Structure 1
């Protein structure tokens, strides 16, 4: 997984990070995770042009781990707003709302990430690839995170690992 970013003013993409994560199966899930870092309270994530996910509004949504609130997805004028709760992404288990689609093979996944209206400094939203819907599964994510000061990469190399 190689992550790149660019701002509105940039002409080219800048490499953020690269990480190799092995999934045991041939299928994996690609999507948009959102967590407020506060169980039961919603954080709001806004974006557009999710190029691999087609019509985000009609994709399956799931809670990964216990979140305390149902995920909400609204699409209007080409902008997708996702509201979800959960206690976080990272550590040995995750808890977040996930708009996702099952894939296999090589993929390129791009999106315009506009805003994460955070519940607190550890709220997160962005792009994620994960081995399954299990809370402790391997994953790699490019996430907006106020504590990190912008975009950061999170990953778990093995089930139940950190």
Structure 2
């Protein structure tokens, strides 16, 4: 199967229509679109990250994104997407919305980091919280540079997500 950059962001609904699937507008909802071809019935939707997914109503194991769709039907992804105009407004719109969402997320993360960096370092030597729990402050000396104290004298510890 050929590699298609950002294939999961391609408009699966448009591709299905171009490849012989019919939209059943009566059974479709605001979120899920219902497509059929012969005796096969598919539910298609776009998630919050603007990625397209499908579910086969007749076969629960047949679900996923456009890559799974082509793989499960022994279709070539390049052949399946042939005729799709890359400058399609839908793709541009999805890319723009995704970029805006990522920028907003990055700004929000930066606000949290800045707020954390404004806190004072936590005093491990005179910590009542650690004393009450029977812990010695010297256990945490290796992490002293990243332990902060907020305005309520709570210990703040940074958490990281690795993508």
Q: Under a length normalisation based on structure 2, what TM-score does the superposition of the two structures give?
A: 0.23
Larger Rg, first or second structure (1 or 2): 2
The structure with the greater share of residues assigned to helix is 2
Richer in strand (by share): 1
